[in-house]
Chains A and B, each alone.
Chain A
Amino acid sequence: MLIDVLSLLPESWVRHLPVLVVLGPMLLSPICAAMPKWRIAWALALFGIITSSVFAFALLQDVMAHGRISYALGGWAPPLGIEFAADMLNAPVLVLVSVIGVLATIFAMPTIVQDINEEKRSLFLSAYLLCFAGLMGVAITGDAFNLFVFLEISSISTYVLVAIGGSRDRRAFTAAYNYLIMGSLGATFYVIGIGFLYAATGTLNMADMASRIPEVADSKTIHAGFAFIVAGLALKAAMFPLHQWLPNAYTYSPSFVTVFLSATATKVAFYALVRLLFSVFSPELEFQQVVFTWVLAPMAAVAAIACSFQAVFQTNIKRMLAYSSVAQVGYMLMGLSLASAAGLSASMFHMINHALMKGALFMAVAGVVMSLGSSQLKDFAGVARKAPWTATALGISALSLVGVPLTAGFLSKVALFQAALMQDWWWAVVVLAISSVLAVLYVGRMLETVFFKTPGPAQLQVKEAPLMLLIPLWVLALGSIYFGLDASFITSLTDGAANVAFSGGQP
């Protein structure tokens, strides 16, 4: 289904693809900051992210054709130098992040006019590019310490992005501050963990680490390192109960930031967790199995139920979707903690679908909020009448969130069920089923309000979202339907990813 992007690129570029996916946005970021006209900065950002996504696609095709690609940064050969490595586990993540990035950037055009003061817009876009580059970097790097660096690049710029919402709603400042404290804790934990691993193995290169860990696996150093790393990354991925930063950050940041973060940031952190757990450590390690069965899986179950339950009682639609995100992270962690190829594949499948639907949901909500000025659920009464296109896309994505057949969300849920059944984890299936029923409750409440309640005078002022918002919104919504009818492309990618994870990172 892909055009052969690879053959369109000159040979000399293809060799440098791994670094090119990060380089463009990163170099454009300071240029953006200096732009006096924010529209030029926006065009530059869009250009940078589009090139990045083209390179990501090319890289994916290269990996599909040739297997793992290793790139030595600055010509210093790994394991001493920093290595960028692309394989089937991270190439799909790169494509996901960059495609969402392109759509989010288009979406940014109409929304930042409303949300952000004119003099700050260029700076805002600059921070956004930096955040994007950081996320791509986390996904591409093959070096454990370098991953920390990129994680911090993306996180620190994210704090800025969230805090910019403060000019409209001052609660964004506390949300950003909270996020900063929690995020820094997470990053610190991660780097402490890496320190332990370095002490035990003497290397920072992931592939190298993976080959040395089994010899020293039974030491306290490795155990401690493992615990720090899992806690740090789980915090970034908003794993229950380390998710407290997320609802406020999603609710009060500018709508563009919410869309971008919900569809990418937690996904990349989740990827990093998978990378560390499966291709640095290994699910065969005894202590890791204990953590999977007794820590990750129960936490995932609690998240899937408790956070869905919390979502049911939210009055703010953005906050409701934020809690739903935490619950969905629970789904992914559940698949991961099965420690099987099927489980991991299902979890990655769900991760991709969730990026599509949550991105679309937040976009649609933003589209209505633009002319309504409120994100309270009760204020959404009957807005479908005045904004049918926005509301329909919202409806489609919401159904995908519930996991209604003919949407992508259904297939990934079935995949999760199946993977759990393969290991006789009946309780996990029951948990996911209960969580889905709760999702019917909160999604049903939202859809009923949007489509069937009688609009008041304020709602009759609602206008259809601008075209620049509708286009990315509908691309995502149609994506949810398309992959609900034919998900063979995604599953081939996620199966490949699971394959890589279980063959220890080697092709």
Chain B
Amino acid sequence: MNILVFVKATIDRNAPLDPDETFPGDRDDKSDVMTNNYDKNAIEAALRIIEEKGEGKVTAVCLGSDMADKVVKEAIAMGCHEAIRIENSKAEVTHFYSVAKILAAAAKKVGEFDLLLFGMQSYDYGTATMAPMVSEFLDLPLACWVEKIAFNDGKVIVDKVIEGGIRKVEVKMPAVLSIASSGDFEEPRYTSVRRIMKASKTAVPVWEIADLGIEEKKPSVEFDDIEEPPARTEKCVIFDDGDASELVGELLGALKEKGLNIGAYK
């Protein structure tokens, strides 16, 4: 069983936002970068499958600059056997569509695989489009938001989250799955000192986009600009000093004063 897990370098949630950033994860300070937390659920799923089958290989694939080395090393330190980084140092490729083209081409270059796993979305842009696009480009079956995985006769049977419930789907392999952050893979494992020591000694091959045979680099959609929202000028008034019934009256009075239609209240 050969599994590829696609991991993304995102900005650490505690790091300051940079509106001028052209590609997520492309920062000068490595400590600002972290593994997209949803991708850790996908890594967990891949590792569990291999552990249960007792054989196979998990390879983490990441598009990013050398800042993303931290992310591929973390994937190995979680238990992935190998990792590949696709160089994107000049932030040549920034749009989701083009990223998906590259990831699909990388999967093709790897050649033999049974499953391509993605996190259900990314922590930063959260478009949840990567798995569907890659499955389309490779013409492979797709199941999104997968909570549970079982195998039967060359097929993979998954529980996928749908609105208000779970749908069981059987797909042929090779297949593309996006893994939900709930269900069986809800708690991704930590790295461990032993695996970190191994990861720091593992050389990660770096592939060039140019070698992947992608013709189309131009994004179909471009970001015109990213700005911080204007500072809010409204003041927050808190009614918390006094009897609740009186406070409600004060609140409604203040809303009425602002010209809000509050129905029958006088």
Is the A/B pair a real complex?
no
Interface set of A (CB-CB < 8 Å, partner B)? none
